[in-house]
Structure 1
Amino acid sequence: MPQIFISAGHGGYEDGVLDPGAVLPETTEAAEMIQVRDLVVAELRSRGLSVLSVPDDLSAAQTIAWINARCRPQDVALEIHAGAHSDTSVRGTTAFYIARNDTRRTHAELVLLALLRRVPELRSRGVKPDTDSPTGSMAFLRNVTCPSLLMELGYLTNPQDLNLIQNRRRDLALGLADGLASWSRAVNSSQAPELPPGTYPEIGIKVNGAAYQETGILVNSNSYVPIDLADVLGVSLETANVTRIRYANVVYIKAIDLRNYGISVGWDASTRTVLLRSRLGGQVCPGTLDRLIANGATSEVQLLMFLKSVNESAVNQYRDLPKLYREEAAIEGVNHDVAFCQMLVETNALSFGGSLKPSQNNFGGVGSPTGGMEGASFPSARVGVRAQIQHLKAYGGLEPLVQRQVDPRFQFVRRGIAPLVQQLSGRWSNDMEYGSKILAFMRRLYESAGLL
């Protein structure tokens, strides 16, 4: 019988510290999700389905390992979370699926629709690929070996969502149970009945635009490629965290896992071919993608088109920003791609809603000289971009400024202390995922521009 795994996000120990998730005065994310999860488990079991509840004292990595030790290709796994936001008006439920997997997107829509049928008062934020998440990828979706989804049921910081989560738990659980049961049936009905047991269809492989002589296989709608391709693409298997399977005496790795190591992964449905492009095979110079002091790779048009893809409503008001970033960064020798993607992180893709306001022209979240909560303000968009570029130059290198200093905190930075994007985490922002969020936007930018 197919199994259904369900995990309540957070609650375990991360680096020896209990992780409750989002914390409110009267409750926590972990406490709310555990209560919903327990009701879902009871409902599924009452329907005669085989369901396994992930222990609550496991870390995120241990949760994945626990599921992988027990799951099979015909099983499904769901993790439920709740969101939190400084803007209490932000609300709604979202189902995340692994990017570029149309089958999993369909599964996400199935589960989300079932939930909304039971609780129509929830605001739908739709289904989203994990590349749209703040970190650019979700380990639960990429590392669990059976089909997996991650759902944010609502925002604990929004009064309406919190009320629904706490007072409509039974309906939430029924909706999730409906969706999980339908998803499990869909996964198992999609197994090709004509194929002999243990046989998986072959797929073609292209690497940097050229056909690869070996073929891959399709396992539960996921592309797997021979493990020797990792060497071809320059991915070190000694440090890489990729899913591996052995089939017909060949070890295969899950293609989508390679995206975490700078590899672009696409799919051509017409020819049933997985498309792989390495950083070396693209136009981005190896070793410069994550450096603050480097040449950017994108054009003004490519930046503008990417901005349109992440926030179409911002294009008219901020049409000149790509030009400003390229010009100001070129003067100081800063990577304009890094600066532009940092702007998307700091301003919520120019939707704002956080501590920054559009009137400040502070696109990089540069602090005020006195350390005030409101941050710095600048007389124009160009000056605001210039201040951000100068602050990046302070962190990334030792060269003096070319233009007059407008960054109010340039002199407070130990020069060259953080030459790499990841090193901005905990420095520019107290968010330890800050660098990862910038790099997630950069990967999306380069893929959209055909550079990666």
Structure 2
Amino acid sequence: AYDMVHEGVSWFSQKGAGMERRTFSVGGTASASPTPSGAVTNDTSLVGVSQVTEQQLVDLFRKRGFTAQVPKAQELAPLYITWGRKFNIRADIAWAQMAHETGFLRFGGIVPPDANNFAGIGATGAKNPDGTYKFDRFATPELGVIAHYAHLAWYVFPDHVNEYCNQQYDPRHFGNRHRYLGENLGVLNRRWAPSPTYTDQIIRFANMIGG
């Protein structure tokens, strides 16, 4: 069993020329359920504990030819597995979403690599007064992974599942636009991103993991 506590860990949100800083502690776990096998589709539940290994997650980068990003993937893989268990959300699908959102950790879009933002959180296209794009920034890679799972949990669970489901951990954890519509992957279409086919690449990458 995995257990850890972080004291005084900080979360940062990019707002205008300045930063907003919040401090919180991390600890605890969520009850977990096993994940059924089978190909990932839009009808696949995000809820459950994937049996995927760190090596299988990292190998997705090798399969796609992104060898330069393998060291960073190796750093993130255990975090995705650990926090997937804590949130009872499939790590393989979250990993595939991370690969899609970050361009396999090459970034190149609104969010820079040092933001530790692996899911495009807060990157809606809105701009700050100085003309720069808004996005959310996290102090460490682990906090970025926690935010990713907390935001997924907001979509796929009817209620808060643990102490991380709030704006301290996920700065976009507000509003009723993300009301519970089910736990299947397809609910992210038109919601996590405007596209009705947003999950197509996530499905593609998820089915490459371990295959």
Aligned residue type for 2:172: R
Query: Is the counterpart of residue 433 in structure 1 residue 197 in structure 2?
Result: yes
Total equivalences in the alignment: 164
Q: In the alignment, what sits opposite 1:315?
A: 70
Please point out which of 404, 408, 419 is paired with 2:183.
Answer: 419
Residues 157 and 180 of structure 2 are in contact (CA less than 8 Å); yes or no, is this contact kept in structure 1? yes
Supply the distance in 2 between the matched residues of 1:368 and 1:345 (Cα, whole angstroms). 14
Secondary structure, counterpart of 2:174 in structure 1: helix
Q: 2:94 aligns with which of 320, 335, 339?
A: 339
Counterparts of 1:37-436 in structure 2, within 5 Å, are 284-286=36-38, 290-310=44-64, 311-367=66-122, 373-404=133-164, 405=166, 406-413=169-176, 414-436=178-200
- Secondary structure at 1:320 match in 2: helix
CA spacing shift, 1:418–1:377, aligned 2, 3 Å: farther
C-alpha distance after superposition, 1:146-172 (max 9, x if no partner): xxxxxxxxxxxxxxxxxxxxxxxxxxx
- 1:363 CA displacement: 0.2
Distance verdict in 2 for CA 1:443–1:317, change over 3 Å = closer
Q: Is the 8 A contact 1:397 1:415 kept in 2?
A: no
Distance 2:123 2:68 in 1: 29
How far off its partner does 1:307 sit? 2.2
- Partners of 1:349 and 1:317 in 2: how far apart? 10
Change (3 A) 1:335 1:410: same
Q: Distance in 1 between matches of 2:99 and 2:85?
A: 19
Pairwise CA distance, 1:337: 1.1
8 A contact 1:395–1:419 mirrored in 2: yes
Deviation at 1:429, TM superposition (A): 0.6
User: CA separation in 2, counterparts of 1:425 and 1:418?
Assistant: 12
Alignment RMSD (CA, Å): 2.4
Deviation at 1:284, TM superposition (A): 4.8
What letter corresponds to residue 333 of structure 1 in structure 2? N
In the superposition, relative to structure 1, how do residues 329 and 320 fare at CA in structure 2: closer, same or farther (>3 Å)?
same
> Could you tell me whether the CA contact under 8 Å between 1:364 and 1:388 is conserved in 2?
yes
Unaligned runs of 5+ in 2: 1-34, 128-132
Paired letter, 2:195? D
Shift in Å at residue 297 of structure 1? 3.1
C-alpha distance 304-423 of structure 1, shift in aligned 2 (>3 A) = same
Q: Deviations over 1:341-370 (max 9, x none)?
A: 00011001111111121011100111179x
Once the two structures are TM-superposed, the CA of residue 403 in structure 1 deviates from its matched residue by: 3.4
Q: CA 1:409/1:422 → structure 2, altered by over 3 Å: closer, same or farther?
A: same
Identity %: 26
Show the counterpart of 2:27. none
Give the TM-score of the pair, scaled to structure 1: 0.34
Give the letter for the 1:300 counterpart. Answer: E
Unpaired runs of at least 5, structure 1? 1-282
CA 1:363–1:321: 2 relative to 1, 3 Å: same
Relative contact order (C-alpha < 8 Å, sep 6+): which is higher? 2
Provide the C-alpha distance between the structure 2 equivalents of 1:284 and 1:433, rounded to a whole number of angstroms. 24
* Equivalent-residue separation in structure 1 for 2:195 and 2:153 (angstroms): 20
Greater Cα radius of gyration, structure 1 or 2: 1
SS of the aligned residue for 1:410 comes to coil
- Displacement, 1:320? 1.6
Letter in 1 for 2:37: C
**Cα offset, 1:324, TM superposition:** 0.5
| TM-score of the superposed pair, with normalisation by structure 2 | 0.70
- Describe the superposition over 1:407-441 as per-residue Cα deviations: whole angstroms up to 9, x where unpaired: 01123254422522122111101122211111011
Mapped to 1, the partners of 2:202 and 2:155 lie a distance apart of: 15
Paired amino acid for 1:439: I
